[in-house]
Amino acid sequence: MDKTGVKGLADALAFIEEKFGYRFRNPHLLERALTHSSRANESGRSEWHNERQEFLGDAVLELCLSEYLYIRFPDAREGELTRMRARLASGENLFALARELGLDQYVRLGAGEEKQGGRGRQSVVSDALEAALGAIYEDGGYDAARQSVGKIFSGQWPRQPLKKQKRDHKSLLQQICQNLYRAAPVYALENASGAEHARIFEVSVRLPDGRKFRASNTGRKKAEQDAAAEAIAVLKRENP
């Protein structure tokens, strides 16, 4: 271990061999893949960090996942394959996977980043995972990277293609309003008309800035979604 308590290169190499199923010929590729820019800056080697390998590893991971999913789901449509790949390659999933494997214990951070909790940051840890895959690709080529991806994702493959989810305009509007106004939109039922079996609901959504958008539909929840969609369209035009 170094003075910060992080496990050394020999331990990292053994870890990669066990968890990723790969033995490095050039250990320095892995050392760099696990080195955060904060560590490089503090050590006086400002360019010797993992950002370029993360860029490479991101592309390698996408290709490997695409191939595995293409083979595993021969009848899946393009959109279904894309959704499965996006979920597997999301920063949130990579962060959880890296921590489950224990990769976060080997990331080399600067003292300042360490004190600020960098070892628990999603971007730091997920980037290190992609950088490690980039390093494996550099050291052993595509087949080696593909085998490593297959090993670390072995328990994560979906059992069936992911279907397209309906758009949740209300959740998106909530997020937009929090970002723009630091407050939530407010929904209200304006009117309900028609026979009991064919009711039409008119609802409104009021933004934190006072503007109101209305919509009607056969269900209150549907009308709220439509009103939210109207508000989103305007906000996106104003805030491209």
Residue 136 domain flag: yes
The pLDDT of residue 163 is 60
What is the model's pLDDT at position 198? 75
Is 141 found in the same domain as 38? Answer: yes
Q: What is the pLDDT of residue 1?
A: 47
State in Å, rounded, how far the first CA of the chain is from the last one.
Answer: 48
In a shared domain, residues 196 and 104: no
Last residue of a domain, one of 152, 183, 213: 152
Tokens of 204: 């409104």
Shared domain check, 75 and 193? no
225-230: long-range pairs with CB below 8 Å, 24+: 225/168, 225/169, 225/170, 226/169, 227/187, 227/203, 228/169, 228/170, 228/172, 228/173, 228/185, 229/167, 229/169
Residues that are catalytic: 58, 130
Residue 140 CB neighbour total at 10 angstroms: 18
Type of residue at 143:
D
> Are 112 and 224 within one domain?
no
The string of pLDDT tens digits covering residues 151-162 is 999 988 988 775
pLDDT of 197: 72
Q: Select from 127, 152, 177 the last residue of a domain.
A: 152
Buried b (16+ CB within 10 A) or exposed e, 75-105: ebeeebbebbbeebbeeeebbebbbebebbe
Is residue 158 domain-resident? no
Query: Rg (Cα) of the chain, in Å, rounded?
Result: 24
Residues 99 and 185 in one domain: no
Based on the structure, what is the number of domains in the chain?
2
Extended strands (E) in 13-133? none
240: DSSP letter = -
Whether 144 and 97 share a structural domain: yes
The CATH number of the domain where 38 resides is what?
1.10.1520.10
Instruction: Judge if 141 and 180 occupy the same domain.
Output: no
Domain residues for the domain of 127 are: 9-152
Examine the fold and report which residue of 104, 127, 152 is the final residue of a domain before the chain moves on.
152
Structure confidence by residue, pLDDT tens digits, 36-50: 999 998 888 878 899
β-bridge mates for residue 189, sequence order: 203
Residues 136 and 218 grouped into a single domain: no
Task: Report, as ranges of residue numbers, the positions in the chain whose pLDDT lies below 70.
Answer: 1-7, 162-167, 240
Q: What is the CATH number of the domain that holds 206?
A: 3.30.160.20
pLDDT of the residue at 193: 87
Q: Are residues 127 and 187 in the same domain?
A: no
